[in-house]
Amino acid sequence: MPLWFVRGLRRGVVTTRYPARPDGSAALLPTPPAFRPRQLTRETADRIAAVCPSIALRRQGDELAFDVGACTACGRCAAEAPHAVTSSGEFELAATARSALVKTIPILGGHR
Ligand code: SF4
């Protein structure tokens, strides 16, 4: 029987202290990507949009539209362009308006 289960029965606490205190296991969670605008080119933006299985990325001219609400944090975009995409480390993504989850990232790299 797992130790945390026995401890929870003894103390009457069966969950972590999150959100009052950060949960250490959160560091292990996959999180949506963050982008380095100066490393993004139109070509890179098109490539990462093409590998995104949830259609969360879309290039609009010299901007990359990122729908965080559609992102599953699969990591394919970061694997495709690790120089331009990294993990955000952010998993608390609740918003009161759907539109707040759509981000626009300027494409500042390469030959535009
Ligand atoms: S992490 Fe996956 S779902 Fe999210 S934007 Fe990148 S490819 Fe798309």
pLDDT at 111: 55
User: How many CB atoms lie under 10 A from the CB of residue 46?
Assistant: 13
33 lines ligand 1 (CB under 6 A): yes
Protein residue with its CA nearest to atom 3 in ligand 1: 71
101 lines ligand 1 (CB under 6 A): no
How far is the C-alpha of 45 from the C-alpha of 31, rounded, in Å? 19
Checking if the pLDDT of 65 tops 50, the result is yes
77 lines ligand 1 (CB under 6 A): yes
Share of the chain residues as helix, strand and coil, in percent rounded to the nearest 5: 30, 20, 50
SS3 call for 10: helix
Alpha carbon 12 to its chain centroid, in Å, reads 34
75 lines ligand 1 (CB under 6 A): yes
Checking if the pLDDT of 14 tops 80, the result is no
103, 66 Cβ separation under 8 angstroms: yes
56 lines ligand 1 (CB under 6 A): yes
Per-residue pLDDT of 37-59, as tens digits, reads 999 999 999 999 999 999 999 99
CA 28 to ligand 1 centroid distance, Å: 17
- Considering only residues 111 and 88, tell me which one the structure prediction assigns the higher pLDDT: 88
